[in-house]
Amino acid sequence: VRFHWLLSSFLTIFLLSSPAFAAKLQSWRFDETENRLYITTDDNVQPKAKLIFNPTRLVIDLPGTSLGRQAVTQPVGGAIQAIRVGQFDTQTTRLVVELADGYTIDPKQVLVRGQTPNQWTVQIPQPERMAGGSELSSNPSYQPTASNTTNAATVLENVQVTADGLFLRTRGSSPDVKVQQDRRRSMVNIELQNTTVTSQMQGLNLAVNRHGIQKLQVSQVRNSPPVARISLNVNKNNSGQWQATATNLGGVIVLPPGGSVASNVPSSTSNSPRAQKTVTIEDIQLSGAQILIKTDSPFTYTHAWDQSSGAFQISIPSAQLSERLRDSQTNLRTVLSSVQLLQTQDSTVVIRVRPAQGVQIKEINQPSTQVLSLQLQRATQANVPSANVPPANNPTSAGGYNVPKGRIVIAVDPGHGGRDVGAVGIGGLQEAGIVLDVAKQVAALLEQNGVQAVLTRTDDREIDLEPRVQMAERVNATLFVSIHANAIDMSRPDVNGLETYYYASGQQLAQTIHRSLLPVTGGPDRGVRQARFYVLRKTSMPAVLLELGFVTGAQDAPKLANAAYRQRLAEAITRGILQYIQQNR
């Protein structure tokens, strides 16, 4: 699958500086005469839009939003066939605009606009007929944009308008920042040294109309080393010094004259410039089999597994850390391999913990308004489900298997990624994209069935084999499922079929998933085999590696390119995993 992230998803002014997890999709409506989608949520969201090919469809994700009801498909007709709305994963509601065969839209003309932070419209341009037969190569403007590959120390990834100013999100090391002001021309240039700009950000021209900034432009200055320049057109009456400060959280904070840098710098304990009641986190301590987080006043929180780092993350908005907290965490070392306390630029405290070897997080709850409790338990292989929960009444769930939450963690490992696209087959079909799509669906389906899932990668990035294994070990994964697609010489389209591999303790898991997948693939059964793959040898839990089919195969390739088929594969893999868990309770 090829993705095209839309520029317009970065253009909106209601950007939130950290994800919220509490919103619900209240209503949505597609206006056929205007080609416009209206979305209303009950809390702030930041929609993300992308165009996906094969088949062509526009996907609008609402991170931190739950649908709270069954998925629906609304037929439209014509070049826009239907709008689908469903829960993509535990934290994301997804709206999909499906285009008729042979049609596409210009992703640059998709406009995602916020009326308010919880009311959005998505303007969809008139679909156009694709020129020529193959949509894969017909129009060069739809090629996915590659990241800049020069070796600068820092990459500028995004520009966000925050409550206080701007936040320039960066990856890599913390850049040196220079601010140049030209009062006569009402221009402010913020230059990040030794920094490249992602291709999506290059040439970004954004109307801000906030904080005295009329608009901003992003450009790459091709010096050696390169410089990322953010040019602001500012109001004339906004005299005084603009400030730009690099933080150690991966970003640069830009504040208008009179703004306060100190309140935004991570780990600062000063007051927020906004008159909001701030909760102080006074203590984090181990008490029996639980970690207690105590505050000086009532608070709310959200929690999530940060899948890229394998950490459990608790976010407390409008909060600060007490000074004495820094040295009170020594006894946590016995149950946690790491604790990170972060103060974000929007006054949220993030507590990020990784359980130590042999420890799992069982549940999180708030026994009183000023205490948060994180319940822990020893991880053992025998800790497989005993209680029953009602069957998930969800059309997208993989079956009626019931597994209580919090005891089992499945590491789902989409192979390859980034520069390593894996196997390349018929029509340029790439393994890395196929397996990421399947793996993400497996993770979402597991979560829907009450089983925690951790993905070793959640986007198109390059990750070595070793960190994949380390992540599974860090979260004490119960099972490890690596997902791949096969390839052989392009001259052998006759070779097709499913193969499943294991090394040590994974044989039964391999057989169970393989049996579950066979009726879906329908193609040749190439068997369950033992192999010394790195991720199978180095993982301590039962581990399998699935080769879902051949991207070079005449039978397999068109199926693997089909989204509905990949969904059936994901459902079958999930069924196999759940079945294995049940058999081993």
**Measured from the CB atom, is 105 or 485 closer to Zn ion?**
485
Q: Are 253 and 245 in contact (CB under 8 A)?
A: yes
Interface segment toward Zn ion; rule CB under 5 A; list 194-202, 237-245, 377-385, 409-417 = 409-417
Q: What sign does the dihedral 2-23-46-178 (CA atoms) show?
A: negative
Q: Are 155 and 147 in contact (CB under 8 A)?
A: yes
Distant-in-sequence, close-in-space partners of 504: CB < 8 Å, separation ≥ 6: 536, 537, 543
Q: How far is the CB of 482 from Zn ion (least distance, A)?
A: 8
Interface segment toward Zn ion; rule CB under 5 A; list 111-119, 191-199, 408-416, 474-482 = 408-416
The SS3 of residue 556 is helix
- Assign 3-class secondary structure to 148-164: CCCCCCEEEEEEEECCC
Q: How far is the CB of 432 from Zn ion (least distance, A)?
A: 8
**Sheet with 205-210, side-by-side order of all strands:** 177-182, 187-193, 227-234, 213-221, 205-210
In the bound complex, which residue of the shown chain has the CB atom lying closest to Zn ion? 484
Interface segment toward Zn ion; rule CB under 5 A; list 252-260, 307-315, 477-485, 574-582 = 477-485
Q: How far is the CB of 487 from Zn ion (least distance, A)?
A: 8
Q: How far is the CB of 498 from Zn ion (least distance, A)?
A: 14
Length of the chain: 585
**Measured from the CB atom, is 457 or 484 closer to Zn ion?**
484
Does residue 575 bind Zn ion (CB under 5 A)? no
Residue 439 tokens read as 């793996």
Among candidates 350, 330, 348, 355, which has minimal Cα distance to 340? 350
Q: Which of 94, 229, 484, 575 is in the footprint of Zn ion by CB under 5 A?
A: 484
**Residue 57 CA neighbour count, 13 Å, CB half:** 19
Residues 291 to 310: which contact Zn ion by CB under 5 A?
none
**Measured from the CB atom, is 301 or 502 closer to Zn ion?**
502
**Measured from the CB atom, is 5 or 501 closer to Zn ion?**
501
Q: How far is the CB of 431 from Zn ion (least distance, A)?
A: 5
Among candidates 187, 162, 156, 353, which has minimal Cα distance to 263? 162
Q: How far is the CB of 486 from Zn ion (least distance, A)?
A: 8
Annotated active-site residue in 98, 157, 473, 547? 547
Interface segment toward Zn ion; rule CB under 5 A; list 101-109, 422-430, 491-499, 531-539 = 422-430
**Could you confirm whether 32 is annotated as catalytic?**
no
Distant-in-sequence, close-in-space partners of 349: CB < 8 Å, separation ≥ 6: 281, 315, 316, 319, 320, 321, 341, 342, 343
**Measured from the CB atom, is 93 or 500 closer to Zn ion?**
500
Does residue 506 bind Zn ion (CB under 5 A)? no
Q: Which of 415, 497, 549, 553 is in the footprint of Zn ion by CB under 5 A?
A: 415
**Measured from the CB atom, is 89 or 556 closer to Zn ion?**
556
Does residue 422 bind Zn ion (CB under 5 A)? yes
Q: Please report which helix (H) or strand (E) contains residue 181, including its range.
A: strand 177-182
**Measured from the CB atom, is 259 or 415 closer to Zn ion?**
415
Q: Are 336 and 354 in contact (CB under 8 A)?
A: yes
Question: How many binding residues for Zn ion (CB under 5 A)?
Answer: 3
Q: How far is the CB of 429 from Zn ion (least distance, A)?
A: 13
| Chain positions contacting Zn ion, by CB under 5 A | 415, 422, 484
Catalytic positions, written as ranges:
547
